[in-house]
């Protein structure tokens, strides 16, 4: 499985591609940051993020895109920029028919470090270790993007089984309801 992780941000949007399957060693395919100038007009910044993500999608051809789920922050302006960059990443993936998964920061931290309260240094250290890198990716946004991809690879099998179980249960319930309604009609 090849996953593009996206740590959304207007100034620095972290991107990282990881390949592998749960339970096996993972490989970093690429890591970087899409940057936009803080003084540029918002529309131009969003276009630059779109172009950057499109270039990563073209070059690395991921099967999935994992994006950090936007959560409430104290600074409304920051959360708005993060949400806008997140939407651009989801749009780019959806346009190509690539499934998108959203993961909360605490889910990612817990998956990678074992603690949902880990700090950026701990996440960077574990990403370095898990991907057998010489040093943590810089800036932290790049390490966070790799952590998102790792989280998705590790969580996807369980999420898929859960979704299949829910779908099976819904189908069985619908079939039972249909059979019950036929019995009342006759």
For the beta sheet containing 27-35, the strands, ordered from the edge strand earlier in sequence to the opposite edge, are: 27-35, 12-19, 2-7, 64-68, 100-103
Is residue 68 annotated as involved in ligand binding? yes
- Three-state SS string over 81-98 comes to HHHHHHHHHHHHHHHCCC
Q: Pull the structure tokens for residue 166.
A: 């829910």
In the block, tokens 């740590």 appear at 7
Catalytic residue among 54, 58, 141, 144: 141
Q: Pull the structure tokens for residue 78.
A: 């920051």
Query: How many CB atoms are closer than 10 A to CB 15?
Result: 29
Q: Pull the structure tokens for residue 26.
A: 């993972």
Catalytic residue among 68, 107, 119, 144: 68
- Facing residues of 34 across strands? 13
Catalytic residue among 7, 39, 41, 54: 7
User: Residue 141 catalytic?
Assistant: yes
Q: Pull the structure tokens for residue 172.
A: 């069985």
Is residue 7 annotated as involved in ligand binding? yes
User: Residue 7 catalytic?
Assistant: yes
CA distance 161 to 22: 14
CA distance 3 to 145: 10
User: Residue 134 catalytic?
Assistant: no
Residues with catalytic annotation?
A: 7, 68, 141
Q: Per the annotation, where are the binding residues for Mg(2+)?
A: 7, 68, 141
Q: Per the annotation, where are the binding residues?
A: 7, 68, 141
């Amino acid at each position: 499985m090849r996953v593009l992780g996206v740590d959304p941000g207007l100034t620095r949007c972290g991107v990282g591609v990881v390949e592998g399957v749960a339970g096996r060693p993972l490989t970093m395919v690429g890591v970087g940051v899409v940057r936009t100038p803080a003084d540029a007009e918002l529309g131009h910044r969003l276009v630059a993020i779109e172009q950057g993500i499109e270039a990563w999608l073209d070059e690395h051809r991921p099967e999935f895109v994992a994006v950090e789920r936007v959560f409430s922050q104290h600074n409304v302006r920051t959360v708005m920029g993060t949400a806008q960059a997140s939407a651009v990443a989801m749009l780019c993936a959806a346009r190509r028919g690539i499934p998108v998964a959203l993961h909360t920061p605490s889910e990612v931290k817990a998956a990678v470090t074992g603690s949902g309260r880990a700090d950026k240094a701990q996440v960077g250290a574990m990403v370095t270790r898990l991907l057998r890198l010489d040093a943590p990716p810089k800036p932290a946004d790049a390490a966070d993007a790799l952590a998102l991809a790792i989280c998705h690879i590790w969580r996807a099998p369980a999420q898929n089984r859960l979704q299949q179980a829910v779908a099976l249960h819904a189908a069985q319930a619908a079939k039972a309801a249909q059979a019950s309604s036929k019995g009342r009609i006759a």
